[in-house]
Structure 1
Amino acid sequence: MSCYFHHERHEIRPLLPKSARNILEIGAASGQTLRWIRTIYPHAVTTGVEINGAVAAELSRNVDVAIIGDIDECLPRLKKYDLILMLDILEHLIDSSSVLQKVRGLLEPGGRVVVSVPNVAHLSVTIPLLFRRQFDYQDAGILDRTHLRFFVEDTAIGLMNAARLNVSKGLISGMQGYKAKTLNGLSLGLLRHHLAKQYIMLGEPVEGEIRQPPVKWMIAK
């Protein structure tokens, strides 16, 4: 089974709030991230929604409430949450904006959403396009053949703003390796958005006019 289903997303730690009581993850896979997050919020109730029934038994062991099914079908079964995770899920959806707007409606007052999306401006995509006019889908990664939407910095932030979520904090992932760190340093940070594999964003709901300041991106560890 794909490593996607057993991966813990430790890198989101700097975006997590000080406390959380009811936590929902959409696209929870086998629940490894929610199991880890219980070490941070030991008294929280965790709910995982996952479309792949093959991981149902494992998900049930790792979360308090396991729900198998398509997100639109599962929405009526969901409650209110103060922390919602949508990690590497929106790019797989036909109408990611509509789904994110519906999920925002599940937030308790003061709740937060953590979203991650792939960055199609990464050098692994743009260099083959520039020099070989080549764009090949793959089994995993930014050009995963199941991806229906592609994002760069502006469209990632725009997706959040369209759901009336202000991006208050952001992480760039994929820069942990020596090559990426070296290129980032040599370019004085100018290549940062071409070295980013993902944008991970903390969204805070806004009731009035969205006034999105520039996001100060941190490097995920």
Structure 2
Amino acid sequence: MKSEKPIVNKEFYYSYPRPEMLRYIDTGVKNILEFGCADGSFAAKVKEKFDCNYIGVEPLSKYANIARTRLNYVYEITAEEFISSSEGMENKYDVVIFNDVLEHLIDPYTLLKDLRMLLTQGGKVVASIPNFLNFQNIYSILRDKDFKYSEHGILDKTHLRFFTKRSIERLFNESGYNIEIIEGINCNIKSKKFKALNLITNGYLDEFKFMQFAIVAVKK
């Protein structure tokens, strides 16, 4: 089955503005926090759309320095360090963003639980998480009989966690959130054979089409 080729330039990760995630940000937000803001490309798009105070957390100096030209403030520390620091306790946020970040954390459950104290009443987490069940990923594992890490993509060697739609739902439910939206994004399987097979199986393969899931969750 033919599929689209994934992005292979890892530097692209740090500068891609993620336009598909913009629609998950509610209008009227005033204070936003983004973990793993990279060079601030996504933040710049958000700030073009909303009049908001935008704080970033980015541990890599190379990208944090660029992000500082686009955001109101950038902390050059890890997500875990931010949550445990006094700086992290200073403000509350309407939206906290994780664009392909939670899978890099040792314990995303604890971080999401602790994060609730930083959210305003009705505050939301907006996240994108890679989909392990993506057909291209599963096909490669079955074909090669190998779980081979790579420099990019779903099996990025810096990923510490792997998720499916169901395990994403568990992650947020067990961490004290109600999920408002969870849906597949960035479909990379468009062949007629796949569509026919999905039709025959009554939509069983729907989740296999997407490279990521987008999530909007509000604290309980």
Using the size of structure 2 for normalisation, the TM-score is 0.86
In the alignment, which residue of structure 2 is the partner of 1:33?
42
Q: Offset of 1:197 from its aligned partner? A: 1.0
In the alignment, which residue of structure 2 is the partner of 1:142?
154
Deviates further, 163-172 or 180-189 = 180-189
Give runs of aligned pairs for residues 17-166 of structure 1, distance below 5 A.
17-41=26-50, 43-75=51-83, 76-78=86-88, 79-166=91-178
Distance 1:56 1:127 in 2: 36
Alignment coverage as a number of residue pairs: 203
Distance 1:140 1:132 in 2: 18
Distance 2:71 2:192 in 1: 39
- Which runs of 4 or more aligned residues in structure 1 lie more than 6 Å from their structure 2 counterparts after TM superposition? none
Distance 2:155 2:105 in 1: 15
Question: Alpha carbon RMSD of aligned pairs, Å?
Answer: 1.6
1:39-81 Cα deviation digits (max 9, x unpaired): 221x210001001111222110010011101122222312200
1:199 to 194, 201, 213: 213
Distance 1:181 1:16 in 2: 31
Deviates further, 128-137 or 75-84 = 128-137
Using the size of structure 1 for normalisation, the TM-score is 0.86
Distance 1:120 1:140 in 2: 13
Counterparts in 2 of 1:151 and 1:61: CA distance versus 1, 3 Å: same
Provide structure 1 residue ranges, at least 5 long, that are not aligned to the other structure: 207-221
Q: Using the aligned pairs only, state the percent identity.
A: 28
Distance 1:203 1:52 in 2: 27
State whether residues 125 and 135 of structure 1, in contact with CA within 8 Å, keep that contact through their aligned partners in structure 2.
no
